[in-house]
Amino acid sequence: MNPYRPPLADIRFLLETFDYAGQIQPLPGCEDFDLDTAMDLVDGYASWCVDVLLPLNGKADHQGVRFVPETHEVVTPDGFKEAYAAFRENGYGSLPFPPEHGGLGAPSCLSILASEILIACNKSFSMSPGLTAGLIDALEAHGSHHLQESLLPKLVSGEWSGTMALTEPHCGTDLGLLTTRAEPHGDHYKLTGTKTWITFGEHDLTDNIVHLVLARLPDAPPGIRGISTFVVPKFLDGGVRNPVFCGGTDHKMGIHASPTCVMNFEGAEGWLVGEPHRGMVAMFTMMNAARLNVGIEGVALAEAATQAALAFAKDRRQGRSLDPSKQEKGAAADNILVHPDVRRMLLTAKSTTEGLRGLVAWIAMNYDIMNKSTDEAARAKASDLVALLTPIIKSYGSERGFLNVSEAMQVMGGAGYTADWPVEQFLRDVRIAMIYEGTNHVQALDLVGRKLPMGGGRLMQGFAAEITALIRSCADDARMAPFVGPLKAESKRLTETTMNLGAAAMQDNEVVGAAASSYLNQFALVTLAYIWVRQVKAVIDRPEDDLLRRGKLQTARFFFEHVLPEAELYARRVAAGKGATVEIDVDLL
C-alpha cells in the first residue's frame, strides 16, 4: 500500500514564497513559464510518475537487476524499458535544457523540484535520468563544439543515457589516487582501467550509454591535479562496440532496481572534455547538481514515508487517549493519532521535510538566477548561496531524510517493517544518500574548509546578511516573535561558533576535521529556521482560519520548539574541540 500524493500545493506555495514571478519568470528564456504554466508542467509530470513509476517501485525492488556474465549485459526489472520509453517521449528528461539542444528550456528550479516526485515514486528509476542530466550539464559547460553537437541531441532527447565514472576499487573520496589511464590515439584517446560503483553503467533502457570518465594522461602529474575527463560511449559511430564492459553488479541494501556496476575499460576510445589535467572542474559541474539531487532524495523518501505513516495512523486504532475527554465513546480504542508520541514523530518528519523542501526551492531558484540572470551582482550573490548551501542540502537532507523515514516506520510499528508497505524499502533506499556523491563528512569539509574561507568569508557574510534582513523585516510583528526570536538566538550562536572555529583552525587544522560534521548540522538547523521564518512570514497575513496558515504555523511551532534546540548540542560538540576525538590511541579502539 503506497498512498503517495505529490506535494504540489507545497511546491506552489514555496515558489510563491520565494517570489517566482519576480525572480524567475523575468529571466531570459523563462518568460513563457508563468507560475500557472510552470505548475501545469509539474502537475502533468507528477501524475505520470504516480501512474507509471510508482506501481513499478516495489516489484522492481523485489526483482532487482540481472547481470548476464556471458554478454556483459544488465537486464532491468520488468516495466522499466516501457516506462523509460514513455519518460523520454514525454520529454521529461529534457525539461531544463536549452531548446537549441532539443530541451524545453524550462526554469531549472521546476525540474529540480519535480525530481522530488520522480524519486518518491521510484528512486531506482530516477537515477538514470539524474546522471544523464549531470552529463549534459558537464558537456554544455566544458565540452568542445564537436562533442556537444555529436552527443547533446541524443542525451537531451533521452535516446542515450549518461554515467559518472569516477570511483575505482581503491579510491572514492580520494580521487587523487585513481589510476585509469588514457593513451593518445589520433585525435582522441584509449582508456584502460576499472571503475566501480557506476550507477546505470550498463542497462537495457537506451541505445547507447555515454560514460564521463576520470583518467590520467601519460604526462599527468600525480594526485588530483593530474586528472582529466573523457567521454567514452558504449557504441562508437556506425554501431561499433567500444571495449567498455560491465564486469558485474553490486548486491546492495537498497536501490535494487538501479544497477551499480563494475566497469572495465579495455582500451576503450574516449574524447577529452575540457582541458588536460583539469578534469575535476568538469566533474564538479556534474557533481554540484548531483549533490543537490541527493539532498532531494532525503526529502522525497521522507515525504513518501511520512504520507504512508499518516495514512496508516488514520486507520489504526490502538490504546486510549491519555486525556479522557478525547477518548472516542463507543469505540474500543482510539485512533493512534491521539497519542502525543505519534504526533511528535510525524511532526518531526514533517517539519524538517518541509523545511528542507523550502531550502531546496530557494537554492533551486538561485541556481536559475546564477545561470541565467543578466544582472552580474544578482548572479554572484546567487552563486554564493548555491555554493554555500549545496553541501548542507546534500548532507543534512540525506541524514535527516534517513532519520525521518525511520520515524515514519516507528509510527507504523511492525507494519512498517514489512514489505506490505513501502517504508522499509524507503529506509533501505535512502541510506545510500548519506554515502554517495561525496560522503556527508566530505560535504562538511567542503563547507568548512572551502566554502567558509572563500573570498575572506564572503559566502557566510552574504547569508548572514539575508538572515539579518529577514529578522529586521519582521521586527514590528509580534506574531512573528516566537519564530524570529529563536532564529536570532541561533544565528548569533552560529556566528560565534563560526568565528571560534575559524580561529581554532588557524592554530590547528585537525580541529576542522573533528568539528566539521557537527558544524554542518548546526548550520543546517539555522538555515532551516531561516527558511521556516520565510514560510511563516508568507502566510502570517492570511485569515486566522486559513488552512494553509494554520498548517504552516503548527508545523513551524514544532520545528522551533523541538527541532531547532538540536543546534545548541552541535555547537557544544564543535566547542569541545578535537581532544576527545583525536587524542586517542587507535590501537585501543
Which of the residues are catalytic? Answer: 437
- Which of 48, 436, 523, 532: binder of a copy of itself (CB under 8 A)? 436
**468 contacts a copy of itself (rule: CB under 8 A):** no
Which amino acid makes up residue 152? L
DSSP secondary structure string, 195-229? EEEEETSS-SSSSEEEEEEEEB-TTPPSGGGGBEE
CA dist 385 to 325, 381, 458, Å?
A: 50, 6, 10
583 C-beta neighbours (distance < 10 Å), count:
9
Q: Does 503 bind a copy of itself (CB under 8 A)?
A: no
CA distance 416 to 51: 23
Q: Which of 2, 167, 293, 373 binds a copy of itself (CB under 8 A)?
A: 167
Interface residue with a copy of itself among 428, 451, 534, 537 (CB under 8 A) is: 428
**In terms of CB distance, is 182 or 516 closer to a copy of itself?**
516
Q: Are 386 and 366 in contact (CB under 8 A)?
A: yes
Closest CB to a copy of itself among 136 and 280? Answer: 280
How many angstroms separate the first and last alpha carbons of the chain? 44
**How near is the Cβ of 326 to a copy of itself at its closest, in Å?**
8
Comparison of 278 and 344: residue with beta carbon closer to a copy of itself: 344
The answer to whether 209 and 202 are in contact (CB under 8 A) is yes
Q: What contacts 445, CB < 8 A, 6 or more positions away?
A: 512, 513, 516
Question: Is residue 544 within the footprint of a copy of itself (CB under 8 A)?
Answer: no
x/- mask, a copy of itself, residues 85-124, rule CB under 8 A, reads: ----------------------------------------
Q: Pick the closest to residue 4 from 256, 310, 296, 315 (CA basis).
A: 310
* Cα gap 62→65, rounded to integer Å: 9
Site membership for a copy of itself, residue 402 (CB under 8 A)? yes
Task: List the interface residues with a copy of itself, window 278-317 (CB under 8 A).
Answer: 310, 317
Site for a copy of itself in 225-254 (CB under 8 A): 250-254
φ, ψ of residue 261 in degrees (nearest 5): -110, 145
Provide the 3-class DSSP secondary structure of residue 117.
Answer: helix
Short-list 141, 261, 278, CA closest to 216:
278
Give CA–CA dist 446/440, Å, rounded: 10
- The answer to whether residue 1 forms part of the interface with a copy of itself (CB under 8 A) is no
Near a copy of itself by CB under 8 A: residue from 106, 514, 526, 533:
514
d(CA 37, CA 27): 15
List 12, 372, 534, 573, residue binding a copy of itself (CB under 8 A): 573
Of the pair 269, 446, the CB lying nearest a copy of itself is at: 446
Pick between residue 105 and residue 248 the one whose CB is nearest to a copy of itself. 248
Q: How far is it, in rounded angstroms, from Cα 558 to Cα 543? A: 21
Does residue 5 touch a copy of itself according to CB under 8 A?
no
Q: Which is nearer to a copy of itself, 284 or 417 (CB)?
A: 417
Residue choice 35, 281, 333, 380 for contact with a copy of itself (CB under 8 A): 333
Q: Does the protein bind a copy of itself through residue 521 (CB under 8 A)?
A: no
Residues of span 404-423 touching a copy of itself by CB under 8 A: 406, 409-410, 413-414, 416-420
Confirm or reject binding of residue 537 to a copy of itself (CB under 8 A).
no
Q: How far is CA 343 from CA 226, 349, 564, in A?
A: 53, 10, 17
- List binders of a copy of itself among 180-199 (CB under 8 A): 197
CB-nearer residue toward a copy of itself: 181 or 252: 252
Considering only residues 344 through 363, tell me which ones interact with a copy of itself, judged by CB under 8 A.
344, 346-347, 350
Q: How many whole angstroms separate alpha carbon 428 and alpha carbon 254?
A: 5
- Residue 572 binds to a copy of itself (criterion: CB under 8 A): yes
Closest CA to 355 of 396, 327, 317: 396
Could you give the CA distance from residue 546 to residue 360 in angstroms, rounded to a whole number? 25
- Find the part of the chain contacting a copy of itself (CB under 8 A) among 2-10, 94-102, 157-165, 329-337: 329-337
Identify the H or E element spanning 182. Answer: strand 181-185
**Beta-carbon neighbour count of residue 253 at 10 Å?**
10
Asked if 542 is part of the footprint of a copy of itself (rule: CB under 8 A), the reply reads no
Q: Are 232 and 209 in contact (CB under 8 A)?
A: no
As measured in angstroms, the least distance from the Cβ of 268 to a copy of itself is: 23
In angstroms, give the least distance from the CB of 497 to a copy of itself: 14
Count of chain residues binding a copy of itself (CB under 8 A)? 91
Q: Which is nearer to a copy of itself, 111 or 395 (CB)?
A: 395
In the complex, minimum distance from the CB of residue 28 to a copy of itself, in angstroms, rounded to a whole number? 39
Query: What DSSP state is assigned to residue 177?
Result: G
Smallest distance from a copy of itself to CB 557, Å: 5
Q: Quick one: which of 118, 516, 525, 531 contacts a copy of itself (CB under 8 A)?
A: 516
The contact mask relative to a copy of itself for 21-60 (x = CB under 8 A, - = no) is ----------------------------------------
Least distance (Å) between residue 532 CB and a copy of itself: 13
Q: In terms of DSSP bridges, do strands 228-233 and 260-273 run parallel, antiparallel, or are they unpaired?
A: antiparallel
Query: In the complex with a copy of itself, which residue's Cβ is closer, 26 or 340?
Result: 340
